[in-house]
Amino acid sequence: MDLSQYAELFRTETRDHLLTFNRLLLEWEQHPDQPEPVAGIFRAVHTIKGMAATMGYARVADLAHRAETLLDRFRQGHRAVTDEELELLFRTADALEALVEASVGGRDAAVDVELLLGALDDAAGAHAAEPTARPRRISFVAAPVGVGRRIEVILRTDSPLKGARAALVLQRMAALGTVLAVEPAPAAIESDAFDGRFAFRLDATADAATIEREIRSAGDVDRIGIDAGDAVAEGDRDAGRTRHLRVDLRRLDTLMNVVGELVTARGRLEHLAAARGDAALAEDVATLSALTQRIQTEILQARMTPVWQVFDRFPRLVRDLSRQLNKQVAFKVEGKEIELDRAVLDEIGDPLVHLLRNAVDHGIEPPEERAAAGKPAAGQIVLAALRDRGAVTIVVSDDGRGLDRAKILAEAKARGVVDGSTDEVTDDLVLRVLGRSGFSTAGQVSQVSGRGVGVDVVLTRMRELGGSVEIKSTPGVGTTFTLRLPPTLAIVPALLARVGHERYALPLTHVAETVELDAGRVTRLETRDALLLRDELLPLVHLRDVLQIEGEPPRRRPVVVLQLGDRRTGLVIDRMEGQREIVVKSFRPPRGTLPIFSGATVLGDGDPVLILDAGGFA
């Protein structure tokens, strides 16, 4: 039976269950004598076991089965869990994750879990696990009429091996509640003649939408009939109509690309309509524009994903790190429901790991040092997501010792970032020094961090994403990193700047304002021009010079003020050509390309235009 097409689905779903497993273990660890989380953990492990067995991943199923045996003892509720047992379960979660990945890739033999299996068996005591796991059998006992809801499922006629598919559906249902009165009989379902129609009763609290989603996730399901049953109220029926489905990310990417093209084509059409001065055409184009806009908004919305999908793995990470480093950390996550485009979300995981590691390793002091400073023994690390105008802000803050500014200044001087006479360490300077590859204030390299690859990774990634990083650090009080991100990458508002005969797009994310270049207010600041703007000297970058465009610039020119964190730079261009929504496309820069571009786009008239990276000028 070829289940390979379900491997990806299996992996995604297992990941969800493993997140639950980890989250509940952390809860349990907080209160080892309270067994509430055990039921949820058991359910997660049990579901993984059932799915793995259906997929034929025997080693995953076996590991899950042994863990289940141990957990079952706690479900009986005799005593509090010990630290060793929790550690064993954390290791099991890790091993399951590794084994699932390996199994899906067909390399499960590469993951050795023998020792862990032994440890689980030992912990479970005399009731050692059976050597081979089998998926839990579904009860085929006839149920009293009226228990649960009656559910009918019809598999697609072209579904291969309908029996296995039906078994998968029943496994999923068993994870939701109790499955009863399955028709036809198991032998008939398993036979080759099985036509794909079957029914059962499900005694579960899940709503119809959830049940339907679970059934459909088994794949090859054509029709589902869920009898409301006595307990189901009218409202629940309505709830059943809100349909959710898992969509392959690549499909959404394709849709996004197509919409990108549509936006470009719309721009081109608007351009043509304006050039012709045809009122009727202009009206039709306006209607088309509105519709395109709606499609674009809908698709962007479909791509939005709550940050918890990435944040939920951090409590475990912080716990492990703080234990490893003998520190006490209270970790708080806020704003989990804030949404980001999937593509942005996929990219922020690594930078956040670096920041959290730094916070635990360098930020939070050992308990005795904290006590001596009059702080609570447990340090606090907060990871928060919040909406901030058009952007999403992610904050990582700790109440630790703050950054060592003397060391940073010494490093900055040694590396020539500042001249020898400087003695002021601004937050901006801190960021510039920390952001250099290879810099670390850690006296010694620990396993956790201190190799100097951290902040530079964060800065680079944020720049690639069109975001920015700010840092605030106070000695003895703590450090806060603020990451500002565009909520979506694909379509961004941008200024269109003209220099000579060329046009460039400048995303608005970092544009603070535009002012006119007043020659009378330009002075020389070290090696570059600066503009006196509201009593502040704004360093200027002449885009003409950077791009080596010859000829005379116009007399009146605008300055686009770019703001990255605390740093402001004025970009002098020839002329502004308004604001556009641009579809960001990647391109492969030829060797030698100036490092000031973050991508390219196609304008309404069909011309490609390069996108300037504000970070390249600041």
Partner 1 sequence: MILGCLLTQPRWLIFASFNKMDDFSGRLLLFRIGDLACAAPATTVREILPPQRATRIPGAPPPVEGLINVRGELVTLVDGARLLGRGPGVDGGALVLLEWAATTVALAADEVLDLVPLGSVELEAREELVGIDPGVVQAVGRHAGRSFVVLALDALLGPLLTVQEDV
Give the interface with partner 1 as residue ranges (CB under 8 A): 260-261, 264, 464, 502, 546-548, 585-594, 596-600, 602, 606-610
Query: Which of 440, 598 has the CB closer to partner 1?
Result: 598
Sheet with strand 149-155: strands edge to edge: 178-183, 197-203, 149-155, 221-226
Contact status, residue 177 vs residue 214, Cβ threshold 8 Å: no
Going by DSSP bridges, is the β-strand pair 567-572/468-474 parallel, antiparallel, or unpaired? Answer: unpaired
Query: Which of 447, 593 has the CB closer to partner 1?
Result: 593
User: For tokens 């809100």, what's the residue?
Assistant: 242
Token readout for 55 is 């997929």
CA 600, 601, 605, 606 dihedral sign is: positive
Token readout for 22 is 């980890």
Strand partners, 563: 568
User: For tokens 């975001």, what's the residue?
Assistant: 467
| Nearest C-alpha neighbor of 69 from the set 101, 42, 40, 96 | 42
The single-letter code of the amino acid at 150 is R
Strand partners, 508: none
Minimum gap (Å) between residue 454 Cβ and partner 1: 20
Query: Which of 364, 614 has the CB closer to partner 1?
Result: 614
Strand partners, 474: 478
| Separation CA 528–CA 510 (nearest Å) | 21
Q: What is the dihedral of CA 295, 296, 297, 299, to 10 degrees?
A: 80
Query: Which of 376, 589 has the CB closer to partner 1?
Result: 589
Minimum gap (Å) between residue 357 Cβ and partner 1: 24
Contact status, residue 532 vs residue 521, Cβ threshold 8 Å: yes
Minimum gap (Å) between residue 489 Cβ and partner 1: 13
Minimum gap (Å) between residue 177 Cβ and partner 1: 48
Token readout for 606 is 């069909």
| Separation CA 601–CA 593 (nearest Å) | 16
| Separation CA 52–CA 41 (nearest Å) | 16
Query: Which of 93, 611 has the CB closer to partner 1?
Result: 611
Minimum gap (Å) between residue 593 Cβ and partner 1: 5
Segments in 229-341 forming alpha helices (H): 234-241, 249-276, 279-303, 308-311, 314-324
**Structure letter (DSSP) for residue 400:** S
Minimum gap (Å) between residue 257 Cβ and partner 1: 8
Query: Which of 564, 584 has the CB closer to partner 1?
Result: 584
Query: Which of 177, 500 has the CB closer to partner 1?
Result: 500
Query: Which of 16, 464 has the CB closer to partner 1?
Result: 464
| Nearest C-alpha neighbor of 203 from the set 230, 164, 223 | 230
CB atoms within 10 A of CB 230: 8
Minimum gap (Å) between residue 577 Cβ and partner 1: 15
| Nearest C-alpha neighbor of 596 from the set 459, 489, 504, 487 | 504
Minimum gap (Å) between residue 157 Cβ and partner 1: 39
The single-letter code of the amino acid at 487 is P
Minimum gap (Å) between residue 587 Cβ and partner 1: 5
Query: Which of 260, 558 has the CB closer to partner 1?
Result: 260
Sort 321 into a burial class: Cβ within 10 Å, 0-12 / 13-18 / 19+.
buried
| Nearest C-alpha neighbor of 344 from the set 259, 258, 256 | 256
| Nearest C-alpha neighbor of 479 from the set 460, 464, 458 | 458
Contact status, residue 211 vs residue 182, Cβ threshold 8 Å: no
Query: Which of 261, 283 has the CB closer to partner 1?
Result: 261
Query: Which of 27, 464 has the CB closer to partner 1?
Result: 464
Query: Which of 464, 581 has the CB closer to partner 1?
Result: 464
Query: Which of 218, 609 has the CB closer to partner 1?
Result: 609
Minimum gap (Å) between residue 261 Cβ and partner 1: 5
Query: Which of 87, 464 has the CB closer to partner 1?
Result: 464
Residues 6+ apart with CB under 8 A from 355: 396, 454, 458, 481
Token readout for 416 is 């020539």
